Structure 1
Amino acid sequence: MTKRLVGMLLAASVATGVLAATPTAASASATSTSAGPHLIDYKIYFGKCEDTCRIKVRIKNVSRKRLYDVSLNARLWVNGTKVGACYDYVGGIRPKGVRWAGCTVRSAKLARLWTRYLDGEIDFDTETKTKVHYEYYS
């Protein structure tokens, strides 16, 4: 395999979050870099969270490569119960650049839990799990 093809496989594995299967004839350097570099750093912020929750994420490109097709997937959990998910397309991020992504979760389950919280039946401990997908060319 050429270095260009290995780079393309690595970019595909980083973008999808699933490692691509490499043939056994590939060089040792191709298998040692299969985990892929981490080119981003992000921090999660919550907006107002009642019967709807606003999730904002600050995405920072820490590499010297331009990132393409950056997108955010966020799942919202309240008291350990998944109440909804949302998606946002960010676009490209220049090297060392910062972009903001945000999405809003609205669901009947979230509204029911908020009503139970207002009635004093349960706590309202929010947690989010996010995934940021991106592509780059080496």
Structure 2
Amino acid sequence: MTRSLAGMLLAATVATGVLVGTPTAASASEASTTSRPHLLDYKIYFGKCEDTCRIKVRIKNVSRKRLYDVSLNARLWVNGKKVGACYDYVGSIRPKGVRWAGCTVRSAKLAQLWTRYLDGEIDFNTRTKTNVHYEWYS
């Protein structure tokens, strides 16, 4: 795999949030023609995050195709430990359209870490990973 192709795949993954499989060196040229197009761009926002965390995501359809069955999966980490996950069904997004999705993570582990943060034992650094699934018809 050439360095530029790997860089483009990584940049596309970071920019759009759509996970792309990394091809082998033999199939690098095939992967550029058969890989799934990046039809979404999204940005993650955190709401109030204490013993429950609200995760909001702005999903933008950057294609000229209507996307169907769009759904959001979000996983939440605090200080590198997974504390929970949530799911939201968005529906369809028209071409060049924007939809908002949001879900709330509630778990005993999150509440325990928040209590330890209030006691001054640990920091409370939140991170999230999201994955947006969708379908389209040619």
- TM-score range relative to shorter protein: 0.7 to 0.9
Q: Pick closer, same or farther for the CA change 1:31–1:80 going to 2, 3 Å.
A: closer
- How many angstroms apart in 1 are the aligned matches of 2:72 and 2:64? 21
Structure 2 letter corresponding to 1:135? E
- The alpha-carbon deviation at position 35 of structure 1 amounts to 1.5
Q: In structure 2, what is the equivalent of residue 61 of structure 1?
A: 61
Letter in 2 for 1:46: F
5+ residue gaps, structure 1: 1-16, 20-28
TM-score (norm 1): 0.78
TM-score w.r.t. the length of structure 2 is 0.78
| Identity across matched positions, percent | 87
Cα deviation 1:23-79 (Å, max 9, x = unaligned): xxxxxx976422111000000000000000000000000000000000000000000
Aligned residues: 113
Of structures 1 and 2, the one with the larger relative CO (CA 8 A, separation 6+) is: 1
CA distance in 1, matches of 2:40, 2:84: 25
Q: Does 1:47 align with 2:42?
A: no
Write the letter of the residue equivalent to 2:77. Answer: W
User: 1:96-123, CA deviations, whole angstroms, 9 ceiling, x for partnerless residues?
Assistant: 0000000000000000000000000000
Q: Which has the larger radius of gyration?
A: 1
SS at 1:60 equivalent = strand
Q: What is the aligned-residue RMSD (CA, Å)?
A: 1.6
